[in-house]
Amino acid sequence: MQKYVLSAFLLLLSELGNTQDRHEGWVRLNLNHWGQSKFGIGLELHHRRQANYWTANKNLLDESLLTIVRPWIYFRLPSKWMLSASPLSYHGSLEILNAQGLTKDLLELRSTYGVQRAIQLKKFTSRNRVWYELRFSNINQSTYFFHTRLRIQNTGLLPLLSLNQHTKINYNFTNEFFISQRKELAQFDHNRLFNGLQVKWGPQEISLGYQWSRHNVNPSSISRHQLFVNASFDL
């Protein structure tokens, strides 16, 4: 048994040793409006910035990384599940090519469909979400390709402090798995882990914390260390 544990530990060290670290800042804003009890619309906005990972620079606001504009349509089912659809969204990213800061712009369009539900267990809240994405990547480059991705996210919210009757501070832990498929090849894409605090008042909420993600990219993996701010407001 000790031999197998040692082998697994050495394999893990080997994988971490082949990982490239990247330092990033990420702001996400969700704006939602419910016209009636069952139907709603939303707009999801992202902006991510990055340090030049070809150098020792760790300024996570140094260069733009990704901008996302994703509209949503929501439908609440009687069973407390919610369906969501984003027929077309914009994803513009910037890739740093070398230590001198040479960059390349990449454009991606996505179509996303999902289902989600929140479950209340006494004071603990469990949020569960599944998305399926159709991705049209690098459409402004000769390297264009189409692929799909399954995303499974689970969030746990644990109350820590009540500031008043309507405002609470929660501990927020989120884990999300990504499985991608390109042609006949389906594989693990990456995993995200978020730890932070959430301030919630009514339907409004803001979360701030640290997010780590590991990407399965050849020839070496990528570890992203992110300062993440996530806000959601009902209008």
CATH of the domain at 74: 2.40.128
Which residue range forms the structural domain that includes residue 80? 2-234
Residue 34 has a pLDDT of: 92
Position with higher pLDDT, 18 vs 11: 18
Number of domains in the chain: 1
pLDDT(115) > 80: yes
Please report which confidence band the pLDDT of residue 68 belongs to, taking 50, 70 and 90 as the band edges: very high
81: closest CA among 125, 55, 46, 118?
118
Average pLDDT over residues 50-79: 94
| E-assigned strand segments in the chain | 19-34, 39-50, 63-76, 82-96, 103-121, 124-137, 145-162, 167-182, 185-201, 204-215, 221-234
Using CB atoms within 10 A of its CB, is residue 179 exposed (0-12), middle (13-18) or buried (19+)?
Answer: middle
Q: Across residues 27-40, what is the average pLDDT?
A: 92
What band does 12 get if pLDDT is binned at 50, 70 and 90? very low
Question: What tens digit of pLDDT does each residue of 178-235 get?
Answer: 999 998 888 899 999 999 999 999 999 999 999 999 998 766 789 999 999 999 999 9
**pLDDT at res. 219:** 61
Asked if 225 contacts 21 with a C-beta cutoff of 8 angstroms, the reply is yes
pTM: 0.88
What is the pLDDT at residue 218?
64
Average pLDDT on 106-133 reads 97
